[in-house]
A and B are shown apart, each in its own frame.
Chain A
Amino acid sequence: MPIGEDYLELAGQRLAARLLLGSAGYSDLTTLFEAIDASGALIVTASIRRIALPNRTKESLWQQLKSKNLQILPNTAGCYTASEAVLTAKLAREALETNWIKLEVIGEEQALFPDVEELLKAARQLVHEGFVVLAYCNDDPITCRKLADLGCAAVMPLGAPIGSGLGLLNPYNLEFMRQTIAIPLILDAGIGTASDAALAMELGFDAVLVNTAIAQAENPPQMALAMKYAVQAGRLAYLSGRIPKKRYARASSPREGRIGQNDQG
């Protein structure tokens, strides 16, 4: 399929961009929106938090994203139980007029790995209540398959801990997931630089979500552009069918006709 016709199909939407962006950690709003522009991302994540009064005078993040025709994807970051995550999702739906939710239920504070039991419980309930659930998960293919079986719109396994920049720590598991899970796979968390994003796409992932690697790069808009190209390159490489890995060399130049080769005797 020509690259120009290769869309990301996600919950009934056809999206031209396979790079999603997180909105946290930018030095200022101008840099955030320059990065979004450079990345070509159409979906941007946001968190749900208590309003800090009386500071509510500026145009809200939601309004600013809406004004640029960007789709906001609220998350349940900071939730440690299914009930917290479900309530947060419902608040997000009411506030932002979307039933899409990036579901996160965290199990511990150092690596921010998900609590799988609570994650599955929350996913089940939210799918039942009509949410479009994109579930952040660890790199366990079984848990990811269970999330898919529950009716999630996408599974978002981590490459490495959130914000760590360690890249894809377990490419074997991620590749295995692609072989066993049919719904969209979005690599989320741990990406450090463009080659990490490219690798995720080469493994067959449908999209990548990047936040810290862009927001805290030395030049965020430039890194966002690099990520855009990396996602496109990785996707094109995946569709092109790479050569298998071999243990030993196989000469690419022909053996016949080499100089210095003479008959013996």
Chain B
Amino acid sequence: MQVQFNGKLCCLTCAMSVADFMAQMAIEPEGVAIAINSYVIAKAAWPTTVIAAGDQIELVYAVHGG
């Protein structure tokens, strides 16, 4: 199924939880945040929030800035 991930079209094999998505991407939770369709998903909700087809996902972290 297709989703938008950080502005790019991305194919996932199936619907999956945010926690599974992060594990698949090998992303550690510390220092990162994720929003789906402009809603920030709290880390506690990662295991129970499911990514669906067409979702727009923003995965961010802190970088150098002024």
Question: Could you tell me which residues of chain A, from 14 to 41, have a CB within 8 Å of some CB in chain B?
Answer: 22-26, 32
CB distance from B50 to the nearest CB of A (A): 18
Give residues in A with beta carbon < 8 Å to B: 22-26, 32, 45-51, 53-54, 56, 60-63, 72, 74-75, 77, 83, 87-88, 90-96, 162-163, 189, 209, 211-212
- The interface of chain B, by Cβ under 8 A from chain A, is 6-7, 25-28, 30-33, 35, 38, 40, 42-43, 58-66
Decide if the interface of chain A is mainly helix, strand, loop or mixed. mixed
The answer to whether A94 touches B42, judged by C-beta atoms less than 8 angstroms apart, is yes
Residue of A with least CB distance to B25: A53
Residues of B within 8 A of A75 (CB): 65-66
Contact A211 B66 (CB under 8 A): yes
In the assembly, what is the distance between CA of A32 and CA of B63, in Å? 13
Pair A62/B40 contact, Cβ less than 8 Å: no
- Nearest-CB distance from B7 to chain A (Å)? 7
**Known interface pairs A90-B40, A91-B40, A96-B31. Does A62 touch B26 (Cβ–Cβ under 8 Å)?**
no
Contact A74 B62 (CB under 8 A): yes
On whether the beta carbons of B65 and A77 are closer than 8 Å, the reply is: yes
* Bound-complex Cα distance A24 to B63 (A): 8
Q: Is the CB of B59 within 8 A of A92?
A: no
Chain A, residue nearest B59 (CB): A51
Our count of residue pairs bridging A and B at CB distance below 8 angstroms stands at 106
CB nearest neighbor in B for A32:
B64
> A25–B64 contact, CB under 8 A?
yes
Do B62 and A72 have beta carbons less than 8 Å apart? yes
A48 touches B35 (CB 8 A): no
Additional A-B contact list (16), CB under 8 Å, known A47-B62, A74-B65 = A24-B66, A26-B64, A49-B61, A50-B7, A51-B32, A51-B59, A60-B30, A60-B62, A62-B62, A63-B31, A77-B66, A87-B40, A90-B35, A91-B60, A92-B62, A162-B66
Task: Assess whether B58 is in contact with A50, with CB atoms less than 8 Å apart.
Answer: yes
Measured in the bound complex, the distance between the Cα atoms of B26 and A29 in whole Å is 25
The reply to whether B62 and A61 form a contact with Cβ atoms under 8 Å apart is yes
Top 9 closest pairs, chain A to chain B, by CB: A47-B65, A22-B66, A95-B33, A211-B66, A94-B33, A46-B62, A50-B6, A91-B33, A23-B64
Q: Who on chain A is nearest to B65 by CB? A: A47
Given the complex of chains A and B, what is the CA–CA distance between A189 and B65 in angstroms? Answer: 12
Given contacts A49-B60, A87-B38, A94-B42, A63 and B30 within 8 Å (CB-CB):
yes
The 8 Å CB contact of A95, one of B6, B7, B38, B61, is B61
